Amino acid sequence: MPERRRWTVRDLRRDNRCVLLWSLYFDQPCSRQDLSEATGLSSASVSNVIREAIHEGIVIEAGSVDSDGGRPRVLLRINPDHGYVAGIDVGETRIRAELFDLTMTVRANADYPLEPREHGVDVVVEKILSCLSAVLRDSGVPPRAILGVGIGVPGVVEQGAEAVLYGQTYGWDGLPLERLLRAGTSLPLYIDNGANTAGLAELWFGAGQGARHAVVCLIGSGLGAGIIGNGVAERAGTSSGTEWGHTTVMVGGRDCRCGSRGHLEAYVGAEAIIDRYGLPLPRTDEESALAALVELAGTSPEAARVLDETALYLGAGIADLINLFRPDRIILGGWAGLLLGQHLLPAIRASARAHALRHPFDQTTITVGRLGPDAVARGAATLPIQAFLNGAATPRRADAADDDIRPTGTGRVG
C-alpha cells in the first residue's frame, strides 16, 4: 500500500464535496440549509461546494420553499442530464440492459432471451455488447456522456486489475470478462456479482431502505445471496456475493448443476423445482413453466407438495443466512424469488423460524423485493453512480469525439 499522503485542503474539499453529493442524491430536492444540517458542514463550506457543482452542471436549482419569516430557501437537485449510466443483468434466462439518467430514470432498455444452458463465452460477450449498443442507440445518449456501465453476473467475481469470473455451473473458470468486453467497448466497466447488485438496488431504492444490514436472496435458475452492510456490498476477500446456492442442505442429496450433491440450489433453484415436479407443464421456458406450476398448486396435490417442500428448503437456507450473518432484513428477489415469495412467504417464514436460532431470527424480517426483476440491472447501474458521487467518474469533455473514448477507471468503485 502506498504511504498515506499528507492531508491537504484539497483532500478536505474533495471529501466535503463527496459527503454533500451523497446527501443531496438521497434527499433531493433540498436546500443548502438542509444539507448543512444533514452533513454537519458549515454553511460556508456547503455554499462553496454547491457553487462549484452548479458551475460544473452537476447540481441545478429546482424552485424554492418559504422559510419561517426569512428569505425563501432555494431547492437543489442533481442534474439528471449531467451524465448517464447503463446497468446490465447477465441472468440465466436473459440478458437485460437499461440506460438511466443520473437520477435513475430509465431512458432505454433492451432484453435478449438466453437459453438456460446457452452460456458459451462468445454468446454472452456478444449479447452484452449488443444490449449495450441497443440502449445507447435507442436513448440517443452519446457514449461520451456515459459515466460507466455496471454489469451484474452470476458466480464469483474476482476484482483485480481486470474483473475475472468463476461460474462453475457454466464452466467459467477464470473467465476474463472485462478483457473480452474491452474488445467491443472502451466505456468504463464495473462488474460485480448479480446478487450484490440486486442488493444494492433494494437497499437504495426498494425493500432494503433503512436496513442496517440486509441480505438479498437472488433466486432464478440458480441462487445467490448478496450481503449488504451500511449501503455497501461487503466483499469477503476477493469474492463478491455469496455462493449460497451451493451450501449443502442434504448430504448425498440431489445432483447439483455445479457437479456436487445436496446443494440448496438443487432443491430451490427454478430449474430444480421444475425437475422435482417431473410432470409435463403447459409451457416449456423456465419462467413460464414455474409460473404454471405455482398456478397448478391450487388444484394439483403433486404441485402443492413440491412447492411446500420448496418453502421448507428455502426457509432452512434462509435460517443459515440468519444464523451466519444476523441481518436485520432478508429480501427475496430474482424472478423466481419474487414469484415464490409472493405465494409462499408465510411457509418460508415458518421454516426459517423453525431452523434458525431464536435470537437472531427475532431481529430480522423476511420480505419480498419491491423492485421487480430489473433489480440486478438497476443495482449494477448504481456502481458507476457510486464512483461518480465519490468523485472517481466524470463524463468526458463535451468536445471529445465519441470514437476517442478511453477507459477512465479499472472497473472498480473508487
Shortest CB 181 distance to Zn ion, Å = 27
Q: Which helix (H) or strand (E) holds 19?
A: helix 9-27
* Closest of 86, 163, 168, 157 to residue 119, by C-alpha: 168
List the one residue from 17, 82, 127, 246 that touches Zn ion (CB under 5 A).
246
Question: Is 224 or 384 the residue whose CB approaches Zn ion more closely?
Answer: 224
Shortest CB 324 distance to Zn ion, Å = 18
**Grid cell in block for residue 228:** 449488504
**Grid cell in block for residue 203:** 437497499
Strand partners, 98: 87, 109
Question: Is 60 or 258 the residue whose CB approaches Zn ion more closely?
Answer: 258
Residue 2 class from Cβ within 10 Å (0-12 exposed, 13-18 middle, 19+ buried)? Answer: exposed
**Grid cell in block for residue 348:** 418460508
1 contacts: CB under 8 Å, gap ≥ 6? none
Shortest CB 260 distance to Zn ion, Å = 5
Q: Which stretch, 38-46, 97-105, 239-247, 372-380, contacts Zn ion (CB under 5 A)? A: 239-247
d(CA 208, CA 197): 13
* Closest of 220, 263, 253, 247 to residue 324, by C-alpha: 247
Q: Does 127 bind Zn ion (CB under 5 A)?
A: no
Q: Which stretch, 208-216, 254-262, 331-339, 344-352, contacts Zn ion (CB under 5 A)? A: 254-262
* Closest of 81, 106, 77, 109 to residue 95, by C-alpha: 109
List the one residue from 124, 211, 256, 319 that touches Zn ion (CB under 5 A).
256
Question: Is 129 or 250 the residue whose CB approaches Zn ion more closely?
Answer: 250
Q: Which stretch, 110-118, 128-136, 238-246, 394-402, contacts Zn ion (CB under 5 A)? A: 238-246
Number of residues near Zn ion (by CB under 5 A): 5
Question: Is 206 or 222 the residue whose CB approaches Zn ion more closely?
Answer: 222
Shortest CB 225 distance to Zn ion, Å = 14
Shortest CB 317 distance to Zn ion, Å = 12
Footprint on residues 261-300 left by Zn ion (CB under 5 A): 263
- Check: CB of residue 214 under 8 Å from CB of residue 166: no
Q: Which stretch, 11-19, 189-197, 260-268, 384-392, contacts Zn ion (CB under 5 A)? A: 260-268
Question: Is 19 or 249 the residue whose CB approaches Zn ion more closely?
Answer: 249
The neighbour count for residue 232, using CB atoms within 10 Å, is 12
Question: Is 96 or 257 the residue whose CB approaches Zn ion more closely?
Answer: 257
276 contacts: CB under 8 Å, gap ≥ 6? 254, 267, 306, 309, 310
Q: Does 258 bind Zn ion (CB under 5 A)?
A: yes
d(CA 39, CA 46): 9
Q: Which stretch, 58-66, 214-222, 246-254, 367-375, contacts Zn ion (CB under 5 A)? A: 246-254
Q: Does 53 bind Zn ion (CB under 5 A)?
A: no
Shortest CB 363 distance to Zn ion, Å = 29
Q: Which stretch, 71-79, 196-204, 251-259, 339-347, contacts Zn ion (CB under 5 A)? A: 251-259
Q: How far is CA 296 from the centre of its chain?
A: 32
Q: Which stretch, 53-61, 159-167, 179-187, 242-250, contacts Zn ion (CB under 5 A)? A: 242-250
* Closest of 163, 321, 158 to residue 228, by C-alpha: 321
d(CA 293, CA 277): 8
Question: Is 261 or 326 the residue whose CB approaches Zn ion more closely?
Answer: 261
The neighbour count for residue 113, using CB atoms within 10 Å, is 13
* Closest of 95, 219, 224, 99 to residue 156, by C-alpha: 224
Shortest CB 406 distance to Zn ion, Å = 40
Which residues of the chain form contacts with Zn ion (CB under 5 A)? 246, 256, 258, 260, 263
